[in-house]
Amino acid sequence: MSADDKTVLALVMRLWAHGGALLSWEHLGVDVRGHERTMHALSRLLEIGFDVRITPSGVRLVPPDDTPCSHEGLAGLGVPIVCAPVVDSTNTMAAMLARAGAPHGTIVIAEAQLNGRGRHGTTWFSPAGLGVWFSMILRPSSPLPHPGLVSLLSGLCVLRVLRLAGAHEMVLKWANDVLWRRRKVCGILVDRVDWPPREAYVTGIGINVHHRKADFPVELRAKSASVDMALPHRANRLALTASIAGEILKAWSVHEPSGFTEIPEAWNAECGTIGMSVRVGAEGELFVGTVQGVDERGALVLTLPDGTRRAITSGHVEPLVSAP
């Protein structure tokens, strides 16, 4: 983490702890009002979406009304909760906690991420006030025969909660996306963490909730959507977080004893790309084929132009026909 990022994290923690109250320049630790380093950090907080109000007397940071960073709002889950206004990455923090022995179900949630991660090393746009960004530590009772099913399980849980909230057009896309009208609303990143005597899995969930089209970077606008776009009303981020985390914990307890054998069939029933022609970048190659669904391992099954089938365990999928 860079020195600038550390300054931003330290500053936002102090401001957030005051719950929207004014914090004087002196209490911020600024030797000279308008100190360049502090002002740079404040500018960074504004850039990532925080409501920061700068006055001659001091600074206020006003938390969003529905912030999911709430120990009280998530207490009913009965698992350890780690809340922070900003982190580098919730998955990175959760992986560190997993290696330190944090128990099954531990949740790490942030209002914003400085360096949110997507699959294959991509960044995840995760500003304050707009989305849900959290990670959970999941510990199997014995080694999983097919770890790829953890991502499918997480996607199914997100889909179920969003459908119950009224977003009926949501569908799944391999391996880790929830789509609305072919645009990405949610992405999931699962990291395996070695922790003797058994492994743990960190499932990171990023959901665009309050975003309008203009809120996305220009390069993402054509392929991104939000929960609010799919609902007739404004969603509540805290309620969504609690519901999704609870659904994952429940589904894990039901399906983990059997090795998640029921998950592929359930996932295929909700997949929005079965029968679609796609291109898939995987294993240094580019495949073109028709999506058949996933197999018992969670691998994507394609029918290639010559009629043969190919199972792909990791890759990036794009439709051959662009979203309207």
Q: Determine the Cα–Cα distance for residues 194 and 152; give it in Å rounded to an integer.
A: 21
The 8-class DSSP code of residue 257 comes to G
Q: Determine the Cα–Cα distance for residues 207 and 163; give it in Å rounded to an integer.
A: 14
Q: Determine the Cα–Cα distance for residues 181 and 177; give it in Å rounded to an integer.
A: 12
pLDDT of residue 116: 63
What CATH code would you report for 273-319? 2.30.30.100
pLDDT of residue 32: 39
Looking at 1.10.10, 3.30.200, 3.30.420, 2.40.360, the CATH number of the domain 3-62 comes to: 1.10.10
Q: Determine the Cα–Cα distance for residues 118 and 204; give it in Å rounded to an integer.
A: 9
Question: Which residues belong to CATH 2.30.30.100 in the chain?
Answer: 273-319
Residue given tokens 């309050």 in the structure block:
210
Burial 155-171 (b: 16+ CB within 10 A, else e): bbbbbbbbeebebeebb
pLDDT of residue 29: 66
Q: Determine the Cα–Cα distance for residues 248 and 252; give it in Å rounded to an integer.
A: 6
Burial 18-32 (b: 16+ CB within 10 A, else e): eeeeebebeebebee
Is the model's pTM score more than 0.85? yes
Question: Which residues belong to CATH 1.10.10 in the chain?
Answer: 3-62
Assigned fold of 71-269: BirA Bifunctional Protein; domain 2 (3.30.930)
CB 50, CB 80: distance < 8 Å: no
Q: Hey, is 280 helix, strand or coil?
A: strand
pLDDT of residue 123: 60
Ranges of residues in the chain with a pLDDT under 70 are 1, 29-34, 116-124, 321-324
